[in-house]
Structure 1
Amino acid sequence: MAGRRWRLAAATALASAVIGVLGAPGAAYAAPGTPQPPSPGPSAGATRSLEDVHREVETLYRKAEAATDAYNAAGEQLRLQEKSVEEITRRMTAAQERMDRLRNEAGALARAQYRSGGLTPQTQLFFSASPDNFLSGVALARKGEQATRGLLAQVEAVRGELQGHAKAADERRKALDAERGKKEAAKKEVEARLDAAKKLESRLEEKERERLRQLEEERARRAQTAWLASDAGKGLAGQGSAATGEGKRAVDFATAQIGKDYVWGAEGPQSFDCSGLTLKAWAAAGRAIPRTSQEQWRQLAKVDVKDMRAGDLVIYFSDASHVGMYVGDGTIVHAPRPGRQVTLAGAGSMPILGVVRPG
């Protein structure tokens, strides 16, 4: 009897262990020959895993976008430094031409003195046979001395100017090298982040990639709904937004780019990054704005979210690393990230830092 009870307890323990294994999260075992019901979708464990992937991918793309802003900023500084070098070169050329003219004048003066026997004007006057010539010559000598002193002063001034330009040019060249280094470092970081994100996504099956896209869209919808219900977004949905003539032209340009690929560092015409799109849209409206989203946030006039109108720029994330253009009805047009195209999105689908107005 005791043996039967022992065998029953052992069998029960074994069954419990088997059930425990089969019921473990993420387990994919089934009894041979037992038909399984169709899966309703990813298991809770799989969903959590996919959400982790989603967060990691988004983090990588966000870091890539921040690095893209640094790349664009370095490129802008590089262009400014190059212009500065060109201006310094122009000034050096003009100063060198002035120096050449002064040297010619000094040479002519030296030759004139040589032809007069090397005597100073005062000595020549002393030996003058005519008192009238002597008296008139005194005034001329003084004028000559003043002209000589003026010539020498000009030579020294231009020489100092040339030295200053040479020093400035050397500093600009160093600054150029530094900006090139920053740009290259930012480029490497962008490429590394994008490569990591692409590798991560490439390990997913097609259905998982589609589910990843759905998760992204669902999160954006939830964020937009919450934003529209907040004090900041309340009343914006369902309403147009008055725009200036410039603002309307900027919006028309930006929305005409819908469907074009996001490419980091791109300013069109076939592809854009986020700030490249807003830059070109406002250029089409006749207004120049800074190249990067961070500089757009820093330099342009800030307006309250509830007062924004079509054409205003909505700046996202605490580091101002993303930007979209408001088109009205609680909506923006923007270039989201690599692997996506220029599209419309809810203005509140990402964390808003603030709103700026180009004009």
Structure 2
Amino acid sequence: MTATALVCAVGALLTPGTALAAPAEPDPAPAPRLEELRKEIETLYHKAEAATEAYNAAREKTREQSRKLARIEKKTAAAEERMELLRGQAGAMVRSHYRGNGMPDILKLLLEGGSGDFLHDADTARKGRQAQQGLIASLENTRERLDGYAETADEEYRRLRAQQKKKAVAKKSVEQRIEAAEELESRLQAEELERLRELEDEAARKAQAVWLDSGALEEIDARASKEGKKALAYATGQLGKDYEWGAEGPDTYDCSGLTSQAWAAAGRTIPRTSQEQWKRLPRIPVRDMRPGDLIIYHADASHVGMYIGDGDIVHAPRPGRQITVTGAGSMRILGVVRPDERADERADERADERTGER
């Protein structure tokens, strides 16, 4: 090769766009694949949230059973202390009996006492026998209580161990599903992740539009109660904080951790999990919803948000997201519950409805 040809060849290699140029980035995932991926990730996070609520429920049961065991142990300690006292009294009585050579009290009175003191001493002996019988009865009752406490404690220990196992299984399930979702997201480029977030927002907007088009919001005009305003103030005060499964604040929350703590701040203790909130709190028709009420989502009641008015909720969405405001109809609504509902209030409303129907 001549010098001129060599220079030309080297120049060609150094020219932009030749074989030495940096390899091109892989093409972004097409929109249909991203949409399928969004649904897959959404399903994984939904399952993770359901497992989170199962974990929360098992943890609450564990706490409850631990408190029961503590109470049982306290009662057992008191009963054992009483048993020791009664045993001491019984021992003293036995020793006193043997010091009298085992002679019955009535016979000793006949042999030793004068006739004038006999009735008085006989009454004293009778009271002594009653005291003996009372002591024996107390010993038996205390022993029965101790046996009962032991049996109850054994049962509570079994329940505690069962709940601990449930909690461990739920914890593993949460972690596996979150890990699977994060692994799927980790395969995406930055622009794909951004587009994925846009698709999530778009799906939420579409669902909200369908809900609003149903006319649901037209009938919702109730105002928050005094307690509801306090709960709302707490919940909205957490905006921007990270979601963390199993968390109850003050720095991170999961969905039911946020709602339960918000209502605790308002002076109302409500169930910890979304499923228990759905089961145990008074249910309200959507048309009667007011700010502060809790909207339960999905067929398995695995998510909850707090209604803030104007068709919106504040909620803790999922791992990797922050507490935010979104449309109340952006997810499938199972129903609405009211933590500060009074039985007499609902009875009056039902009576008014019946009167109106007539």
Normalising by structure 1, we get a TM-score of 0.85
Given candidates 192, 196, 199, the residue that maps to 1:215 is 199
Question: 1 CA distance for matches of 2:307 and 2:300?
Answer: 19
Percent identity over the alignment?
55
Q: Which residue of 262, 267, 275 maps to 2:256?
A: 275
Instruction: Say whether 1:319 aligns with 2:303.
Output: no
Shift of residue 203 of structure 1?
0.6
* Distance change (3 Å), C-alpha of 1:179 and 1:306: same
1:274 maps to a residue whose letter is C
Map of 2:154 onto structure 1: 170
Distance 1:70 1:210 in 2: 31
Letter aligned with residue 133 of structure 2? R
Q: 1:47 aligns with which of 28, 31, 40?
A: 31
Name which of structure 1's ranges 330-339 and 97-106 shifts more when overlaid on structure 2: 97-106
State how far apart, in whole Å, the 2-side matches of 1:135 and 1:94 are. 40
Secondary structure of the structure 2 residue equivalent to 1:156? helix
2:94 aligned with 1:110:
yes
For 2:164, the equivalent position in structure 1 comes to 180
| Partner SS, residue 233 of structure 2 | helix
Per-residue CA distance 1:66-92 (angstroms, 9 max, x = gap): 000000000100111011001111111
- Answering whether residue 66 of structure 2 is matched by residue 67 of structure 1, we say no
Q: 2:65 aligns with which of 66, 73, 81?
A: 81
CA contact (8 A) 2:232 2:292 kept: yes
Q: Aligned partners of 1:73 and 1:283: how far apart in 2? A: 17
Deviation at 1:235, TM superposition (A): 5.1
Pair 1:290-2:271 in alignment: yes
Q: How far is the alpha carbon of 1:297 from its aligned partner?
A: 0.5
Tell me which residue corresponds to 1:331.
312
Deviation at 1:42, TM superposition (A): 6.8
Among 134, 141, 144, the residue aligned to 2:118: 134
How far apart, in 2, do the equivalents of 1:256 and 1:136 lie? 79
Residues in 2 aligned to 1:42 and 1:308: alpha-carbon distance in whole angstroms: 44
Classify the secondary structure of the residue corresponding to 2:308: strand
Which residue matches 2:226? 245
Shift of the alpha carbon at 1:164? 0.4
Pick one of 272, 291, 295 that aligns with 1:310. 291
1:119 counterpart = 2:103: yes
Residues 133, 328 of structure 1: alpha-carbon distance in 2 compared, 3 angstrom cutoff = same
Shift of 1:234: 3.5
CA drift at 1:64: 0.3
CA distance in 2, matches of 1:42, 1:251: 42
Give the whole-Å Cα distance in 1 for the aligned partners of 2:88 and 2:200: 75
CA contact (8 A) 2:217 2:310 kept: no
In structure 1, how many angstroms separate the alpha carbons of the residues matched to 2:219 and 2:94? 85
The Cα shift of 1:134 comes to 3.3
Judged with a 3 Å threshold, the aligned counterparts in structure 2 of structure 1 residues 124 and 195 are, in CA distance, closer, same or farther, namely same
The answer to whether the aligner puts 1:341 opposite 2:325 as a matched pair is no
After the TM superposition, which residues 188-207 of structure 1 pair with which residues of structure 2 at under 5 Å, given as runs?
A: 188-207=172-191
Q: 1:129 to 1:214 in 2, by over 3 A?
A: closer
Q: Distance in 2 between matches of 1:244 and 1:136?
A: 73
Aligned counterparts of 2:113 and 2:92: Cα–Cα separation in 1: 27
Q: Deviations over 1:258-292 (max 9, x none)?
A: 11000000011111000000011111111111000
C-alpha contact (below 8 Å) 1:228/1:235 kept by paired residues: no
Gaps of 5+ in 2: 1-17, 19-26, 341-358
2:305 match: secondary structure: strand
Q: Distance in 2 between matches of 1:120 and 1:195?
A: 81
Distance change (3 Å), C-alpha of 1:287 and 1:129? closer
CA contact (8 A) 2:219 2:288 kept: no
Cα RMSD for the two superposed structures = 1.7
Corresponding residue for 1:356?
337
Pair 1:145-2:145 in alignment: no
Contact 2:28 2:189 in 1 (8 A): no
1:314·1:324 contact (CA, 8 Å) conserved in 2? Answer: yes
- Look up the match of 1:266: 247
TM-score where L is the length of structure 2? 0.85
Give 1:135's aligned amino acid: L
CA displacement at 1:52 relative to structure 2: 1.1
- The aligned counterpart of 2:10 is none
Question: Aligned with 1:337: secondary structure?
Answer: coil
Q: Does 1:156 align with 2:140?
A: yes
